[in-house]
Amino acid sequence: MKIEILKQAVMDSRDGITISDNGIDDNPLIFVNPAFERMTGYSFEEITNVNCRYLQKDDREQPELEIVSSAVKNGEYCLVTLRNYRKDGTMFWNELSISPIHDENGVVTNFLGIQKDVTPRMLILQQLRDEHQSLEEMKAHFEQLSIKDGLTGIYNRRFFDTQFEVQCRIACRTSDSLTLAMIDVDHFKLFNDVYGHQVGDEVLRRVADSLNKSFQRGSDFAARYGGEEFVVLFSGMTIEQSARHVETLCQLVRDLRIPQCASKTGYLTISVGFSVHVFSPLHPCNDLLARADRALYIAKERGRDQHFNL
């Protein structure tokens, strides 16, 4: 009576149930229940007396298959989720558990397999993962928007204001020097009037890219301060070294060879005012900013296409 109940339970189970023969080479299936037939689309006659690897078709590069192989080899239990394929070629996610069956001598004679179609669950998990990834990508995107200038792609005024204070505090602690350079694209309003704002935007992008490639330390950076104005902050340089570096910035823009009818050279140029400080608590950040701003004004008053230190 108990055997009959067990047989009926196996045949009526909604989960696929299989038994393989571990005493025969390649561990073929010797029994499958109706639920397994319905799940895979194969009939009893088609899927018995062969190994069930046909369920993966050509999709054999699944790490979980190594787990199954190792469990069979060592006569152990395992639980994995596999991509399986029905007879009509449609894929489904199969949660497979296999358990060894031992004889009276402890030898593994068979493996009992329980298969569950968990495709809906896996699709939901995949959707959740995709949504999580999208949220992370959106978060990263908005974080970049908050610190990057939308036109030029370099840092914006907001980032500069925050990072400037940070770098000043670090300089106070280390007694290191900070150089702040304020940069203005010469005659840019006239440039826009002559060549158009679209061309002007492209020029700002090219100038920003040139400035952004000029750094020697990871803490150095350029930012768009507003309009056609940029700032560059770099550390650890003397006045002489800073002057040479600023001249390099001017030359990088000259080398772009962007036509500018208002320039005495015929090409677009920049004016730079810079200031160098070795910080202490008695030297506030705003003093460095004000001095660099006044130095820029003087550079422009002296004819532009040059730099001035104050």
Q: What is the pLDDT of residues 167-209, one digit of tens each?
A: 888 888 887 889 999 999 999 999 999 999 999 999 999 999 9
Domains of the chain (ranges, CATH numbers): 2-122 (3.30.450.20), 148-309 (3.30.70.270)
Look at residues 43, 128, 41, 29 and name the one whose alpha carbon lies nearest to residue 87: 41
Q: What is the DSSP letter of 268?
A: -
Q: What is the average per-residue pLDDT within 233-253? A: 92
Q: Can you tell me the distance from the alpha carbon of 281 to that of 231, in angstroms, rounded to the nearest whole number?
A: 23
Q: What is the pLDDT of residues 288-308, one digit of tens each?
A: 899 999 999 999 999 999 999
Q: Residue 220: its pLDDT value, please?
A: 86
Q: Can you tell me the distance from the alpha carbon of 228 to that of 270, in angstroms, rounded to the nearest whole number?
A: 10
Q: Where are the alpha helices (DSSP H) in 118-238?
A: 119-147, 157-174, 188-195, 197-212
